[in-house]
Amino acid sequence: MQIYLPIAELSVNIFLVLALGGAVGLLSGLFGVGGGFLMTPLLIFIGVPPAVAVGTQSVQIVASSLSGVLAHMRRGNVDFVMGGVLTAGGLIGSSIGVWVFSLLKKSGHIDLTISLGYVLFLGIVGGFMMIESLPGVLNRRPAGVASVARGPTRHPWMQALPFKIRFRRSKLFISSLLPFSIGVLVGFLVATMGVGGGFLMVPAMIYLLGMPTQMVIGTSLFQITFVTAVTALLQAIVNQSVDVILALFLLVIGVLGAQLGARLSSKMKGEYLRVLLAVIVLGVAIRLALDLVLTPQDVFSLGGGN
Under the binding rule (CB under 8 A), the answer on residue 236 touching other proteins is: yes
Residues in Cβ contact with 79 at an 8 Å cutoff, skipping those fewer than 6 apart? 167, 168, 169, 170, 211, 215, 218, 219
Out of 107, 140, 156, 305, name the contact with other proteins by CB under 8 A. 305
Under the binding rule (CB under 8 A), the answer on residue 247 touching other proteins is: yes
The DSSP call for residue 154 is G
Q: 164 phi and psi, to 5 degrees?
A: -70, 140
- Minimum CB–partner distance for residue 2 and other proteins (Å): 4
The amino acid occupying position 117 is G
Question: Which of these ranges, 63-71, 79-87, 157-165, 168-176, lies near other proteins under the rule CB under 8 A?
Answer: 63-71
The closest of 297, 264, 291, 294 to 122, measured between CA atoms, is 291
For residue 263, the number of C-alpha atoms closer than 13 Å in the C-beta half-sphere is: 7
- Minimum CB–partner distance for residue 108 and other proteins (Å): 8
- Minimum CB–partner distance for residue 93 and other proteins (Å): 19
Q: Which of residues 197-226 bind other proteins (CB under 8 A)?
A: 225
65 Cα distance to chain centroid: 10
The closest of 71, 4, 39 to 195, measured between CA atoms, is 39
Under the binding rule (CB under 8 A), the answer on residue 240 touching other proteins is: yes
- Minimum CB–partner distance for residue 160 and other proteins (Å): 40
* Alpha helices per DSSP H over 50-79: 50-74
Q: 259 and 123 in contact (C-beta within 8 Å)?
A: no
The sign one gets for the Cα dihedral 132, 180, 285, 265 is: positive
Out of 9, 46, 102, 283, name the contact with other proteins by CB under 8 A. 9
Under the binding rule (CB under 8 A), the answer on residue 237 touching other proteins is: yes
Under the binding rule (CB under 8 A), the answer on residue 112 touching other proteins is: yes
Q: Between 50-74 and 213-238, two packed helices, what is the crossing angle to 10 degrees? A: 140
Residues in Cβ contact with 46 at an 8 Å cutoff, skipping those fewer than 6 apart? 12, 16, 17, 20
Under the binding rule (CB under 8 A), the answer on residue 156 touching other proteins is: no
Question: Which of these ranges, 16-24, 120-128, 135-143, 286-294, lies near other proteins under the rule CB under 8 A?
Answer: 286-294
How far apart are the C-alpha atoms of 125 and 109, rounded to whole Å?
24
**Binding pattern for the stretch 115-144 against other proteins, x by CB under 8 A and - elsewhere:** xx----------------------------
**Nearer CB in complex with other proteins: 139/297:** 297
Under the binding rule (CB under 8 A), the answer on residue 163 touching other proteins is: no
Residues near other proteins, by CB under 8 A: 2-4, 6-7, 9-11, 47, 59-60, 62-67, 70-71, 74, 108, 111-112, 115-116, 225, 229, 232-237, 240, 242, 244-245, 247-248, 251-252, 255-256, 258-259, 291-296, 299-306
